[in-house]
Amino acid sequence: MNSTKVEQHRNKLRNRRIIVIGGFLTFLYVVVGIQAFYLQVIEGDILSKRASKQYQKSMKCQGKRGAIFDANYRELAISTSVVEVGMHPMDVKSKDEKTILNKHKLSGDIARILNLNQNVLYKKLSSNKKFVWLDRKVTPMRAVTLRSLRLTGFEYDSSYLRVYPYKSLAAQVVGFVGVDGYGLDGLEQHFDDELQGNLRQWTIIKDRMGRIFDRREACSPGYEGNNLILTIDSNIQYIAETALQKSVEENNAKCGLAIVMAPETGAVKAIAHYPTYNPNSFNSFPRDSWRNRSVTDTFEPGSVLKVFLIAAALESGLCDPEMIINCESGQYRIGRNVINDTHSYDFLTVHDVLKYSSNIGSVKIAEIIGAQALYEMLLNFGFGEKTGINCPGEVKGLLRHFQGWKKIDNATISFGQGITVTPIQLITAISAVANHGVLMTPYVVQAITDENGNIIKNFNPSEKRKVIMPETARALMQMMNAVTEPDGTGGQAVPVGYTVCGKTGTAQKINAHGTYRNCEYNGVFVGFSPAQSPELAVLVVIDEPQKHHYGGVVAAPVFREIVHETFNYLNIPPSTPKEQLNVSNGVGEVGA
């Protein structure tokens, strides 16, 4: 009996133990199951991504940026292959996975390979950062040499470096790109979407030693960017920049600008600035030197605006070239203001008012035709509106409505004060005179091509409007040709063997006190040549010259040199003396 009870008691204890142990195991299974469910279902994606980072990496690379060519397909901007080298400082180890103990020696070895500063490199090796860039412009050969050290913890990404082979040539027009390959200024920025290559993506899979054994690539169609073909001719650009620099330095000027245009089409052949900058190292130059002042800056044009005053006078029918104007012996009072001429004149014809650049004669003509006629002519020639040139940053200048003009405003605007224009507006307007009265839209990009050179888009010459009658244009050309005669204000603009139509300007600049007293000047010359059949229009602006300040002295010689050298380059033959233009009694007739 007792033995039976003992046996039953043992069975109860055993069963109890089994139940307890079974319950405990069941609890563990439940806990493990819940944890497994949490890891596999709830945290599955996160953990999977975390694990994949240890053996695979997604890489991205922008396609090769398109090139920028001049009109003769010379490369003004190209992209060359480089390697971006980065480093995980805490993961840098030798080929046998040993931690680098002598970082100073290693930094010296890497510095010699990459041509970097050893001290800077040592600080990066000793950094606690997860990742640092060593150099993003490493040549492929240097990258191969660095890889031969077989160090872990380094990243090598293929990339491209933007290079400007002609350095500062047309720098303000072309612009530059940043370290990430995006356009930051000039045409590089304006046409960034066209030039930028498509994004390429790929995935690399590594073993635990960091060795790549699989690569899965996805390449977008049209991987490389498109190219720009400019109207700029690098030879003419060089001629303009050289002549401009000479004048700026000789006259101790603040800066200078020159534009060369084909008047029949509006194609810009050169836009020269001085001082300039090198886009390969743009950060080493002041920001002020980056901008394309031909479209972004305005100035009071001075006497060159008299061309458009005379155009308004001839178109109105109220004046003709032989009409006599009383120039008041050099002084003319308007209210409390006195208008002066550089030289005293009693009576001049309209023709001679332009030839000798009489301010008083211009004021008298403006009074004859009225403010509205002058305003409408200036507006018609494109002043007060953007030209539409395919360059970034263009402004429209200042041309106030004539209803807000006072009598003195009508007077000063007639000789180019109280109005501001951009250089591109001024040369485009003068080109309309050379183009028989037809105003064209200026342009610097003539085509966009794909990576194989196939044309995607053309920018053809575009006629904006007819601004004056052809006979008025011929009369203006005759008068502008007289300006460049030996006794005219622009005599120094004429190259030997060629004829020139032009106009000088000596424009006062408002000083810090908002007046013209003791102010600086802009010396300006604008014109075209040959006079009979214009091939080129050229504008020269010399800002704040110190040695001389008259446009006929500081700017006209630059015009002469640009035209002479460019015509030699283009094989445009000289004209004979018999072809000189003379003004006759009839408007638009060419005298003997």
Question: CA neighbours within 13 Å on the CB side: how many for 421?
Answer: 28
Residue 573: asked if its preceding bond is cis (omega within 30°), the reply is: no
- Could you tell me which residues come within 8 angstroms of residue 556 by beta carbon, excluding any fewer than 6 positions away? 490, 491, 492, 493, 502, 504, 525, 540
Distance between CA atoms of residues 429 and 380, nearest Å: 9
Instruction: Judge whether 316 counts as a catalytic residue.
Output: no
Distance between CA atoms of residues 71 and 81, nearest Å: 25
Torsion angles phi and psi, residue 464, rounded to 5: -85, -55
Are 417 and 506 in contact, with CB atoms under 8 Å apart? no
Q: Helix (H, G, I), strand (E, B), or coil: what is residue 257? A: strand
Are 104 and 122 in contact, with CB atoms under 8 Å apart? yes
CA angle 498, 501, 502 (to 5 degrees): 120
Kindly provide the b/e burial profile for residues 95-127, where b requires at least 16 CB atoms within 10 angstroms of the residue's own CB. eeeeeeeebeebbeebbebbebeeeebbebbee
Query: Of these residues, 79, 294, 303, 529, which one is catalytic?
Result: 303
Question: CA neighbours within 13 Å on the CB side: how many for 25?
Answer: 6
Q: At what angle do helices 371-380 and 306-316 cross, to 10 degrees?
A: 110
In the chain, what is the greatest distance between 2 CA atoms, to the nearest angstrom?
Answer: 157
Cite the active site residues: 303
